[in-house]
């Protein structure tokens, strides 16, 4: 089912958790809401689920206004960060809960419920745990049971709040792949919240990057990584070298010295130059835009990582760059750096 969120505003006291947010999710998408804590991503998810209410704005699920319905009437599957399994119920009863509390008129008979629960436990590959209690399961198992429980009500959409946040690194990796393949299998429109960019880029079809209650960029994982729309996105996703520069016309200056790169339409005034570590070309001294002395080199895998001290008017700035291992760099060597790909964003504050 498609989801449409329009002009959502949500304030907690004077703090705007969501500031005029618009979002369209197409049927069958697997979307990630990515942002630092406090960016409003969880609040947005809870508003779509009906667990929180916006101060203004609209939420439509499949073209139908969702705000007239409470959480229990929306048929939205919600997977909680800490699973929220019912501790006094077995795994089986947890999964069956949503079916057992349906209004009598549409409630299925016991045999159908049992068959459905069995089917879901098979889907999450945990049917052998059906008589256990949540306290007897591992974190990864609990998360999969929570997912099976959310799927039991045949949700129109599936929402997951930091689904892997409480798991250790290894289980987290396994579950990511598992979630993606599960989505390929059942194809229900899904949104998950995460603060882990790797998780978002690896699992989602599309990523929504949020900060301070606003959406910074929406795009495929490739788009948000390669073409960050704002300084925040560039800084938040992937690691970047950030240097303060001055733009006037098409000229870019660092510390008063002109850099022979184009401003690409950045407004005149103070700005920030963003370069990915691996997008810095290294040449002999004097050949590029930035000169500096190599202070330290570490080599691992296919790359060598060098700390380069760029000397400026107010002492030196140390940056880290990644270079291929075709030419061994030496500590003490003076090199020249030239950004191959870069972005310049005007400084806002």
Partner 1 sequence: MSMQTGLATSTTQLRTYAPSTDVSVAAPAPRLEIARGRSTAARQNPRTEPGPIRFVIIALAVTFLSVFVVLPLVVVFASAFSKGVGAYFAALAEPEALAAIKLTLLVAAVSVTLNLVFGVVAAWAISKFEFTGKTFLITLIDLPFSVSPVISGLVFVLLFGAQGYFGPWLQAHNIHILFAVPGIALATIFVTFPFVARALIPLMQEQGTQEEEAAISLGASGLQTFFRVTLPNIKWGLLYGVLLCNARAMGEFGAVSVVSGHIRGETNTMPLLVEILYNEYQFVASFAIASLLAMLALITLVVKTVLERRLDETEVPDGD
Partner 2 sequence: MGLTLTWLSVIILIPLAALFLKTFELSLDQFWGVITSRRTLNALKISFGLSFAAACVNLVMGTIIVWALVRYRFPGRRLFDAIVDIPFALPTAVAGVALTQLFAQKGWLGAPLAELGIKVAFTPIGIFVAMVFIGIPFVVRTVQPVLIDLDVEIEEAAASLGANRWHTVFRVILPSLIPALLTGFALAFARAVGEYGSVIFIAGNLPNVSEIAPLLVVIRLSEFRYADATAIAVVMLVASFLIIFLINRLQRWAQARIPVH
Query: Residue 194, interface with partner 1 (CB under 8 A)?
Result: no
53 binds, among partner 2, partner 1, none (CB under 5 to 8 A by kind): partner 1
Segment holding 43, helix H or strand E? helix 41-49
- Which CB sits closer to partner 1, 59 or 121? 59
Residue whose tokens read 């002395």: 293
CB atoms within 10 A of CB 228: 24
CB atoms within 10 A of CB 75: 15
189 binds, among partner 2, partner 1, none (CB under 5 to 8 A by kind): none
DSSP of 274-307: EEEGGGEEEEETTSSSEEEEEEEEEEETTEEEEE
Residues at the contact surface with partner 2, assessed by CB under 8 A: 49-51, 70-78, 80-90, 97-98, 101-102, 133-135, 146, 149-150, 152-153
Minimum CB–partner distance for residue 39 and partner 1 (Å): 7
- Which CB sits closer to partner 1, 19 or 291? 19
Which segment (26-34, 47-55, 286-294, 297-305) binds partner 1 by CB under 8 A?
A: 47-55
Out of 8, 17, 124, 209, the only residue in the binding site for partner 1 (CB under 8 A) is 17
Out of 24, 26, 71, 122, the only residue in the binding site for partner 1 (CB under 8 A) is 71
Minimum CB–partner distance for residue 43 and partner 1 (Å): 6
Query: Residue 86, interface with partner 1 (CB under 8 A)?
Result: no
CA-to-CA separations, 33 to 4, 49, 118, 150, in angstroms, rounded:
15, 14, 31, 19
Q: Note whether 324 and 302 are within 8 A (CB).
A: yes
- Which CB sits closer to partner 2, 90 or 230? 90
- Which CB sits closer to partner 2, 158 or 215? 158
**Separate counts of helices (H) and strands (E) for the chain:** 8, 20
Cα–Cα dist 191/188, whole Å: 10
- Which CB sits closer to partner 1, 72 or 102? 72
Among 234, 220, 233, 219, smallest CA distance to 339 is for 234
What residue ranges in 156-288 does DSSP mark as E strands? 157-161, 189-194, 206-211, 214-219, 240-248, 251-254, 257-259, 269-276, 280-284
Query: Residue 36, interface with partner 1 (CB under 8 A)?
Result: yes
75 binds, among partner 2, partner 1, none (CB under 5 to 8 A by kind): partner 2
Q: Note whether 217 and 230 are within 8 A (CB).
A: yes
Cα–Cα dist 279/323, whole Å: 9
Taking residues 48 to 67 in sequence order and writing x for each that binds partner 1 by CB under 8 A, - otherwise, the string is --xxxx--------------
Query: Residue 130, interface with partner 1 (CB under 8 A)?
Result: no
Which segment (46-54, 86-94, 141-149, 200-208) binds partner 1 by CB under 8 A?
A: 46-54
152 binds, among partner 1, partner 2, none (CB under 5 to 8 A by kind): partner 2
Angle at 40 (CA atoms; ends 12, 74), nearest 5 degrees:
90
Inter-axis angle of helices 91-100 and 139-152, to 10 degrees?
20
42 binds, among partner 1, partner 2, none (CB under 5 to 8 A by kind): partner 1
Which segment (34-42, 164-172, 299-307, 320-328) binds partner 1 by CB under 8 A?
A: 34-42
- Which CB sits closer to partner 1, 210 or 329? 210
Q: Is 106 exposed, middle or buried (CB count within 10 Å of its CB: 0-12, 13-18, 19+)? A: exposed
Report the interface residues with partner 1, using CB under 8 A: 12-13, 15, 17, 36-39, 42-43, 50-53, 69-72, 349
């Amino acid at each position: 089912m498609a989801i449409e969120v329009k002009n959502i505003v949500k304030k907690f006291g004077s703090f705007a958790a969501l500031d005029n947010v618009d979002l369209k999710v197409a049927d069958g998408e697997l979307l990630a809401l990515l942002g630092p804590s406090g960016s409003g991503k969880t609040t947005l998810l809870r508003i779509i689920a009906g667990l929180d209410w916006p101060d203004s704005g609209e939420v439509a699920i499949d073209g139908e206004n969702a705000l007239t319905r409470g959480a229990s009437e929306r048929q939205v599957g919600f997977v909680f960060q800490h699973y929220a399994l019912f501790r006094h119920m077995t795994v089986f009863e947890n999964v069956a809960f949503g079916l057992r509390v349906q209004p009598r008129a549409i409630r299925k008979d016991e045999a159908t419920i049992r068959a459905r629960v069995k089917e879901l436990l098979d889907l999450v590959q945990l049917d052998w745990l059906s008589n256990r209690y949540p306290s007897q399961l591992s974190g990864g198992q609990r998360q999969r049971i929570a997912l099976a429980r959310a799927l039991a009500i045949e949700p129109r959409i599936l929402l997951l709040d930091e689904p892997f946040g409480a798991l250790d690194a290894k289980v987290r990796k396994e579950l990511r792949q598992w979630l993606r393949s599960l989505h390929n299998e059942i194809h229900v429109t899904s949104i998950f919240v995460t603060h882990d960019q790797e998780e978002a880029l690896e699992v989602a079809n599309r990523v929504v990057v949020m900060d301070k209650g606003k959406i910074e960029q929406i795009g495929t994982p490739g788009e948000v990584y390669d073409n960050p729309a704002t300084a925040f996105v560039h800084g938040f996703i992937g690691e970047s070298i950030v240097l303060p520069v001055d733009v006037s016309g098409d000229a870019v200056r660092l510390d008063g010295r002109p850099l022979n790169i184009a401003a690409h339409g950045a407004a005149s005034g103070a700005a920030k130059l963003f370069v990915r570590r691996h997008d810095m070309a290294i040449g002999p001294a004097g050949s590029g835009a930035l000169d500096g002395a190599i202070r330290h080199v570490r080599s691992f895998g296919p790359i060598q990582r060098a700390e380069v001290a760029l000397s400026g008017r107010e002492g030196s700035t140390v940056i880290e760059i990644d270079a291929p291992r075709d030419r061994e760099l030496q500590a003490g060597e003076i090199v020249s750096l030239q950004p191959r790909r870069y972005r310049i964003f005007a400084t806002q504050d």
